[in-house]
Amino acid sequence: MTTFAERVMGAARLNAATYEEVEADETATGQALAVVVLSSVAGGIGAAGLGTAGVVAGTIGALVGWVAWAALTYVIGTQLLPEPQTNANVGQLLRTIGFAGAPGVFRIFGIIPVLGGLVYLVVSVWLLVAMVIAVRQALDYKSTARAVGVCLIGWLVSLAIAAVIAVMFTRTLF
């Protein structure tokens, strides 16, 4: 069995075998949660200026988003776009998607003046690629394009939900 640090490094290296390992290890959900928290805290520090309250709020948001994204990905991937061999549950998606946040720990370097924006851009692309690999492995897809499709549909649904919430919130305020 690999250590937590080895899993985080494997996930950050986009190693499909690491994602398969955490998918299968039902005890790795706590480790996935730790990756989500570490990535969120690193992003908060790297954003320089969020302060403690911002980091805490961002971490809570990341945890809620992680669970919501796993559930949404499960529905899209197993009901809307399954492949014949697709066999997954929400726990598997929680673990793989949690570990897909591993590259996010590098957002801490966003605090470096002048390079911060570039760091965030590079890490954002890295996180996107990790997410696609995590989804592909958790849903047992042979097609990376299908995993991209699941992520794209999930992103569009998330944007629509956020827009509805924003409209409801602004109507409440005004």
Q: What residue spans define the domains of the chain?
A: 4-173
Rounded Cα–Cα distance for residues 107 and 46 (Å) = 5
pLDDT tens per residue, range 55-81: 888 888 888 889 999 999 999 999 999
pTM of the model: 0.90
Q: List pLDDT tens digits, range 137-156.
A: 999 999 999 999 999 999 99
Residue 79, classified by CB atoms within 10 Å of its CB into exposed (0-12), middle (13-18) or buried (19+), is exposed
Mean pLDDT of each 10-residue bin along the chain, 174 residues long: 92 98 97 95 80 80 90 96 96 97 94 89 95 98 97 91 81 65
Region class of 88: left (phi > 0), else alpha (psi between -120 and 50), else beta: beta
Q: What is the DSSP letter of 85?
A: T
